[in-house]
Amino acid sequence: MMTAGYAGLLTLLAAILIALLTLYLTRLSQPRLDAKETSPTVYRIRSRYFVVLLVLLALSLVLTLPHAPYVSTRTATPELAVDVTGRMWSWDLEAARPNDHLARSARGELVLPAGRPVVFNVTGADVNHGFGLYDESGHVVAQTQAMPGYINHLYHTFKRPGIYRILCLEYCGLGHHVMSAAIEVR
């Protein structure tokens, strides 16, 4: 909670800073110069800067893209499949393949094993919902949209056992805040 508060304060301060800077720069600016009057040196510097920037951006893309979480989760072939349907205002979870023999806990929650890749086939029955999977400390571990008429495949491997909460991440009407479910990971 504290972290969210700090993040909000930081965003506000940054927004004020940007607004002040914009105001300052607007005051500094002068009437537009004719293209001919602008020094050719400026154009030369600008085109070189563009090339340097292009190379830097391409380099950072090549270096960081392999670390995107989407790739690493997709490489694990799912061993279990769960059908997820979001509706106003509840979640339905069931084994997509009966042969997976997924158990239910005493509270009726779906039981999934830790360390085995799972694919969630997520859809919406009425309006758009957001399928958000939270660990016990309240951090989102995976999420995708639950859209009517479309199935999103969310790949996830639970690292630790525990009770994972499912909350709706997209406002979907009066009962949005009660739209929750849980998965027990053993």
Give residues in contact with Cu ion (CB under 5 A).
129, 168, 172, 176, 179
For residues 101 and 113, the answer to whether their CB atoms sit within 8 Å is no
Q: Residue 168 pairs with which residues in a beta bridge?
A: 131
Least distance to Cu ion, CB of residue 10, Å: 27
Taking the least distance from each CB to Cu ion, the nearer of 179 and 183 is 179
Q: Judging by beta carbons within 10 Å of its beta carbon (0-12, 13-18, 19+), is residue 146 exposed, middle or buried?
A: buried
Least distance to Cu ion, CB of residue 151, Å: 18
Taking the least distance from each CB to Cu ion, the nearer of 109 and 170 is 170
Taking the least distance from each CB to Cu ion, the nearer of 78 and 124 is 124
Taking the least distance from each CB to Cu ion, the nearer of 131 and 158 is 131
Tokens describing residue 154:
């969310």
E strands, the chain, where?
A: 80-87, 90-95, 110-112, 117-124, 129-134, 140-146, 152-157, 162-168, 180-185
For CA atoms 135, 139, 140, 141, give the dihedral sign: negative
Least distance to Cu ion, CB of residue 178, Å: 9
Taking the least distance from each CB to Cu ion, the nearer of 84 and 179 is 179
Least distance to Cu ion, CB of residue 157, Å: 26
Compute the distance between CA of residue 11 and CA of residue 17 in angstroms, rounded to an integer.
10
Compute the distance between CA of residue 35 and CA of residue 17 in angstroms, rounded to an integer.
32
Least distance to Cu ion, CB of residue 171, Å: 6
